[in-house]
Structure formats: structure tokens, C-alpha cells
Amino acid sequence: MSTSGTYTARLAARLPVHYGWIIMVAGTICVFACLGLGRFSLGMLLPSMGQSLDLSYSQMGFISTANFIGYLFAVLVSGRIMRLLGGRRIISLALLVVGASMMLIGRAHSMPVITLLYIVTGMGSALANVPIMALINIWFCHHRRGRAAGFVVIGSGFAIILCGSLIPQINALYTQGWRINWLILGALALCCALVCSLILRNSPADLGLLPVGTDSTAARRNMAPATKDDLALNSKIVLHCAAIYFLFGFTYVIYVTFVVTSMIEDRGFAESAAGLFWSCIGLLSLISGPVPGAFSDKFGRKAALMCVFTIQACAYLLVALPLPTMFLFLSIGCYGIVAWAVPSIISALVADYAGQQRIAAIFGFVTFIFGLGQISGPYLAGLLAERTGSFSASFLLAFCMAAAAVLLSSFLPQRKAHH
């Protein structure tokens, strides 16, 4: 064990809580940077970027899609790179890539350059997000995974709160405020890379610990190799999880990419007011990971996914229909309370069926399929908005796909999980 590893092991032994909870906090910081800043800030940045660069709806949608193209490419190799470099190292390097590419976007002057850089941002996001979710499932046993992963994914919510208040203020102060915002957010991501490098460890065994909530007998079962029957069952459940995750990727990204633009251009909201509502989504989303995650630990992943997708479908329908403004507020509330629930539940579901050695590879695969949904969602939504003159058709499409996800989730099999 290295000197830093020995020091961390001694520190872990003195902590009043298991070091796994410290890993969880670092995971929240990681998601704050790689997804919250690297992806979800775009919804607030697009209106001013689009005006400054004279972008059409389809071009704005393609910038979002570019991020997912990079994300999609990187998830294919994330499991292999994690095995080669270890979770701690790859996560730290990936966050450096996210921060640097975002700062370079702030200095770019053409759509092709911005698109290329945002592809790189997407790659960094994937190479941080997939390993951190795998790492959390290594550090926590079965009946704690949903809750732990739920706390990790709310990092995006903290970023949305920050972006919803910071970005409009900077835009109001400077004529090219969106450029300054990219620089600030990129610098924050670099700081998060440093924090994760200092805190993260690849497994409980590195510090002489067992996963949170387990004992030595459960640990031995977790280390046991999968049987042939496990492999056959895993292949079926992985495809099922991937299909559900695809529908989530397709639908949620339409909302987060275009809801602010829709509020400004379809409903006449000021940017500051739209930013306030965006911050409200972030605030509400702070319960969207831990509560559904804990619910899935207690009542099962199937029931949790069905509830979450039903609430999301309501959010998309309410914003799609020409209803009074109060229903827009209700849509924001419905979306916020379950915003990050699906990734945490899917992560826990995958870990339930996979041993420690296979979590990153399997989660990487389902995330790849999820990425296909993220690529197609914003691009098609942008095209629909451009042809119809509003985003109503785009949100109706999201509603239909979310309803399909409820149905697909209802067919998830029940099976005793790995510990």
C-alpha cells in the first residue's frame, strides 16, 4: 500500500462513520461536475448562446446531441479503462477533461468548434460518471445501494441550483456573458477533479474495509464468481434494463434541454424568471435520488421505476398541453421530485445482478444504450420544434416514450440479488 493509501487507511479507521459514506460524498461532487456542470448547464446557456451565434432550434439541439455522441463513444470503453487505470485515476482525469473542454468552449467563436469541444466534454462526462456509479456499488451492499446511488446522483441537482442563479446574473452583467459562464463552470469542474483525486479509493479492500452494510459472509458471496445460470439471467436482465434506460435517456434530455428555451420563447418568460424555475427543479431534485433509491431498496426496483416514470410522464404532458401557467409549475414540480431517480435505480438494479468485477462493464453497456436515447431525443425534439414553431410536439413525444417505459418496467423479473 502506498504512503497516501496507508494514511487514508489510518484516517478511515478513526472516522466516526464508514469511509464508504465519504466515497459517496466524493461521488456527489463527481456527478456535480461531470453531469451537472458538463451537461445540465447547457439548458440555461443555450438561449444566450443561440442569440449570440444566431443558432436555429435544430442547431441548438445538435449541440446537445454532440455531447451525447462523445458520451456514447466513451461508455463503450469506460469499463475497460476502469480495469486498466482504476476508478480513482480515470475519474480524476476525466473531470480534468470536462473542465478544460468547457473553458475552451468559452473561448470558441464558431458552432463547429463548440460542437467538437462539447463532444470532448461528453467523453469526459462518461469516463467519470460510469466509473463512479460502479465504484459506489462496490462500496455498498445490496440493501444500501439504491440510497447511496440516490445521494450521488443529486450532485446534478446542486449544479442546476447554481446554474439557475449564476448564469442569468452573469449574462445580465456582460454582453458575452455565456462565455464567462463556460469559463467559471469549467474552473469549478477542475476543482472537483482535485477533490475526487484526494478522496476516492478503488475498493473497501484498499483500506482494509468491507462494503457498507455487509459482513464477512456476505463479502465472500460477493467475491464468488458468477455461475453459468447467473450469466444467462444477466444477459436477459441487462437487455431489459438497457431498453428502459434508453427510454429514460430519450425523454428526460428533451425536458432538460428545452424547457427553459420553451418558457422564454413559447411562454414569454424573462430569462431571470426561467432561471429561477430551473433552480427550483434543482432544489426539488435533491430528494429525487435518495427517496426513490431508498424506496427501491425496500419495495423493489420494478415498483420504483414504474412510479418514477408515471410521474415523469405527467410532467411532460403538463408542459406540452396549452394549459394555464399553474400547470407549468406543476410540471416542474413533478419533474423535479423524480429528476435523477432512474439512474440511481438502474445502477442499483444492474449491481443486484452483477458481481463486483462486472459492474462497470455491464453498467457501461446499459449506459451506451441510454446514450442512444440521449442522442436521438434532443435532435428529434429540435426538429419537431422547428417545424411546428413550438415545443409542444416535442414534449408530447417525451410523454409517449415515458408511458412506454412504465409498461416496460412492469415486466421486470423479480430475482434475488447479489450482496
Q: If you average pLDDT over residues 54-73, what whole number do you get?
A: 86
By the 8 A CB rule, do 91 and 30 touch? yes
Look over the chain and give the mean of its residue pLDDT values, rounded to a whole number: 88
Q: What is the pLDDT of residues 89-131, one digit of tens each?
A: 999 999 999 999 999 999 998 899 999 999 999 999 999 999 9
Who has greater pLDDT, 167 or 353? Answer: 167
Who has greater pLDDT, 223 or 345? Answer: 345
Who has greater pLDDT, 123 or 216? Answer: 123
Place of cell 427543479: 281
Q: What is the pLDDT of residue 229?
A: 41
Least confident span in 151-165, 245-259, 270-284, 301-315? 270-284
User: Could you tell me the pLDDT band of residue 307, with boundaries at 50, 70 and 90?
Assistant: very high
Q: What is the pLDDT of residue 4?
A: 58
Distances (CA, A) of 14 to 5, 9, 19: 14, 9, 10
User: Could you tell me the pLDDT band of residue 216, with boundaries at 50, 70 and 90?
Assistant: low
Residue 233 in domain: yes
Q: What is the pLDDT of residues 221-268, one digit of tens each?
A: 444 444 434 433 357 888 999 999 999 999 998 998 888 888 888 888
Supply the CATH number for residue 65's domain.
1.20.1250.20
- Grid coordinates belonging to 355: 458481481
By the 8 A CB rule, do 133 and 363 touch? yes
Q: What is the pLDDT of residues 146-179, one digit of tens each?
A: 999 999 999 999 998 999 889 999 999 998 999 9
Q: What is the pLDDT of residue 227?
A: 41
Residue 193 in domain: yes
Q: How far apart are CA 133 and CA 152, in angstroms?
A: 8
At 44, the amino acid letter reads: M
Q: What is the pLDDT of residue 218?
A: 46
SS3 for the chain is CCHHHHHHHHHHHHCCCCHHHHHHHHHHHHHHHHHHHCCCCHHHHHHHHHHHHCCCHHHHHHHHHHHHHHHHHHHHHHHHHHHHHCHHHHHHHHHHHHHHHHHHHCCCCCHHHHHHHHHHHHHHHHHHHHHHHHHHHHHECHHHHHHHHHHHHCHHHHHHHHHHHHHHHHHHHCCCHHHHHHHHHHHHHHHHHHHHHHHCCCCHHHHCCCCECCCHHHHHHHHCCCCHHHHHHHHHHHHHHHHHHHHHHHHHHHHHHHHHHHHHHCCCCCHHHHHHHHHHHHHHHHHCCHHHHHHHHHHCHHHHHHHHHHHHHHHHHHHHCCCCHHHHHHHHHHHHHCCCHHHHHHHHHHHHHCCHHHHHHHHHHHHHHHHHHHHHHHHHHHHHHHHHCCCHHHHHHHHHHHHHHHHHHCCCCCCCCCC
Residue 329 in domain: yes
Q: What is the pLDDT of residue 5?
A: 60
Least confident span in 25-34, 200-209, 228-237? 228-237
At 25, the amino acid letter reads: V
- Grid coordinates belonging to 285: 431534485
Domain hosting residue 91, numbered range: 3-202+227-409
Q: If you average pLDDT over residues 207-233, what whole number do you get?
A: 58
Residue 195 in domain: yes
Q: If you average pLDDT over residues 269-275, what whole number do you get?
A: 82
- Grid coordinates belonging to 375: 442522442
The length of the chain, given as a count of residues: 419
Q: If you average pLDDT over residues 345-351, what whole number do you get?
A: 90
Q: How far apart are CA 355 and CA 419, in angstroms?
A: 9
Q: How far apart are CA 308 and CA 334, in angstroms?
A: 10
| Radius of gyration, alpha carbons of the chain | 20
Residue 210 in domain: no
Q: Which of 287, 273, 376 is nearest to 325 (CA)?
A: 273
Residue 331 has pLDDT above 60, yes or no: yes
Residue 324 has pLDDT above 60, yes or no: yes
Q: What residues are paired with 212 via a beta bridge? A: 140
What is the biggest distance separating any 2 CA atoms in the chain, rounded to whole angstroms? 62
Q: How far apart are CA 323 and CA 284, in angstroms?
A: 22
At 352, the amino acid letter reads: D
Residue 216 in domain: no
Domains: count for the chain: 1
Residue 209 in domain: no
Residue 235 in domain: yes
Residue 362 has pLDDT above 70, yes or no: yes
At 211, the amino acid letter reads: P
Q: What is the pLDDT of residue 355?
A: 65
